[in-house]
Structure 1
C-alpha cells in the first residue's frame, strides 16, 4: 500500500503538510532556526505519530475486549544524538490507561500487542532507535 503526502513551503521555515484526505498540519523549524514558531517540528511529529498509532491500537484492543475505557494517554520521550543528523537514539512510550475496573492483564496485553505486532509507526522507529515502553492503569 502506497501512501502519499504533500509538503509545501509557507515562507520562512514554515511548511504545510497535506495528506491525501485533505487534512493539513503546520510544521515549523522554530524561531531559533529561522521559523515563526507556528507549528510542530518534524521530529516532534515522529514521536506524536508513534504515540498516536500505538494509542489507537491500545484503545481498539481494549474496546474489543469489552474493557470500560475512559482515557488513554501516551507520553512519548525521545533522546537525540548530539551530532548531525541528530537522529533519535532512544524512544520511550509510557501509556496511562484509565477506566472502570480495568484488568491489568488486559492493558498489558493491549500495549504489548501494539508495540510488538500492530503499531507500524513505532515498529518503523524501532528499526532506528532503541524503543522501550511501559504502562500504568488508573481507576476512573
Structure 2
C-alpha cells in the first residue's frame, strides 16, 4: 500500500475504494478505529466461517466493541473487548463457545496484536423468530 499526504491526514487507493486516515475524524478514519475494526471484523469473519462449517443456522451476527486506551503512554490501545450478538435457530451455547475458541486461534489480527493488546471476546445468543 502507498499512502499520500492530504489536508489533515493521509489517503490510499485500494481495490474497493479510497481510504482516508487521520487523527482528526473530520478528515478520515482514526488509526485506532481501523485497528479495532480489523480485529473485530477479522474475528467475525472467522467465526462466521466456523459456524457455517458446523452447519449452524445463523441468521445474523452483530459485533460490538469497546476499547481501553492509556493516555499516559501515547494513548495506546491496551484492551479491545469484542462482543458478538449471534442470532439464529437452535444454537447450542457449548458449540458457540467452542467456535469462539477456534476463532481466537485462527484470527490473524487477534494473533498479531496479543499479548501487546489484551483482546477479550464474549457472546450472547439471540433466538431467531
Q: Would you say same fold, with TM above 0.5?
A: yes
> Which 10-residue stretch deviates more, 48-57 or 122-131?
122-131
Asked whether the equivalents of residues 57 and 110 of structure 1 are also in contact (C-alpha less than 8 Å), the reply is no
Q: Distance in 1 between matches of 2:27 and 2:95?
A: 39
Q: Structure 1: state its 5+ residue gaps.
A: 32-36
The size of the alignment, in residue pairs, is: 128
Asked whether the equivalents of residues 7 and 27 of structure 2 are also in contact (C-alpha less than 8 Å), the reply is no
After superposition, what is the alpha-carbon deviation per residue over 1:14-67, rounded to whole angstroms, capped at 9, x for unaligned?
322334x46432222226xxxxx1421011100000011000000000001001
Q: Structure 2: state its 5+ residue gaps.
A: none
Aligned to 2:21: 27
User: What do you get for the CA RMSD once the two structures are aligned?
Assistant: 1.7
Q: Distance in 2 between matches of 1:128 and 1:24?
A: 29
Aligned to 1:56: 45
Asked whether the equivalents of residues 15 and 26 of structure 1 are also in contact (C-alpha less than 8 Å), the reply is yes
- Alignment pair present for 1:125 and 2:113: yes
TM-score, normalization by structure 1: 0.82
Q: Distance in 1 between matches of 2:17 and 2:49?
A: 23
- Alignment pair present for 1:18 and 2:13: yes
Q: Distance in 2 between matches of 1:24 and 1:12?
A: 15
Aligned to 1:34: none
* Regions of 4+ moved over 2 Å: 21-24
Asked whether the equivalents of residues 8 and 27 of structure 2 are also in contact (C-alpha less than 8 Å), the reply is no
Aligned to 1:89: 78
TM-score, normalization by structure 2: 0.88
Q: 1:69-80 counterparts in 2 under 5 A?
A: 69-80=58-69
Asked whether the equivalents of residues 97 and 107 of structure 1 are also in contact (C-alpha less than 8 Å), the reply is no
